[in-house]
Amino acid sequence: MAMVIGLGSHKGGVGKTTFARAIALVAAAQDLTVHIADLDQEQQTAFEWAQRRHESGRKPDISVDVYAGPDQAMRRADEFDIIVLDGPARAKAMALEIAEASDLFIQPTKGVIDDMAPAVRMFHELVKHGVPKSKMVFALHGVLAAKEIEDGMAYLTGAGYEVIKGSMFMQRGYGDAQNFGLTALETKWESLNVDAARVVASVVRKVRQIVEERESAAPEARKLAG
């Protein structure tokens, strides 16, 4: 059964697909079978990006397909080590479905109140629907300055949620790379690649923590069952 990483947001343009692509690349580089489920049937941004990557001959190839919802993507959970659910923007009901299906649910946001306040409200609503806080994290993306990271961290943690360490600054280089089927880790500028790698490394650490907690809980579950 695949480890499932979900990405969702109250709005578009916050970096969901950027994170999905970068996470998938790191997983593939570690010889894990990874699949991005593009849940935006109208835009199909991740799917079209994967086609550009394939046509350019860039390795590794990233497996991407388009789905109507998380339930369809989860039917393939036995085929992969990791499934990344890349959710559409402004799809309130689907955000809940993605969060419920995920082992880790990431909501990217900029570090300004106009973006963070509705993002926090979305997480609060997911908690009301029974999604555990422990599997929901924020990731700062598209920030303009270090002070924005500092203020964003304070605001989001103050709301009671974990924030992935690191951030990707708003830089044209990230967009340019993705125009050619590359990821935020494969730009022409090493400083941008390093910033992106730090954030993804934090995601990987969180995933490992969840796996370790799951494995340590399994023996206790078997004891109770026995």
Supply the pTM of this predicted model: 0.92
Confidence of residue 19 (pLDDT cuts 50, 70, 90): very high
Residue 182 to residue 180: CA distance in whole angstroms:
6
Q: What is the token pair recorded at 161?
A: 């949620």
Looking at every residue in the chain, the average pLDDT score rounds to 92
| pLDDT tens sequence across 108-162 | 999 999 999 999 999 999 999 999 999 999 999 999 999 999 999 999 999 999 9
Residue 14 to residue 70: CA distance in whole angstroms:
20
For residue 164, give the nearest of 136, 203, 107 by alpha carbon.
203
- Average pLDDT in the 56-62 region? 93
| pLDDT tens sequence across 76-114 | 999 999 999 999 987 778 999 999 999 999 999 999 999
- The structural domains of the chain, ordered by start, are 3-225 (3.40.50.300)
Q: Indicate whether 11 pLDDT > 90.
A: no
For residue 36, give the nearest of 57, 12, 60, 58 by alpha carbon.
60
Residue 145 to residue 71: CA distance in whole angstroms:
39
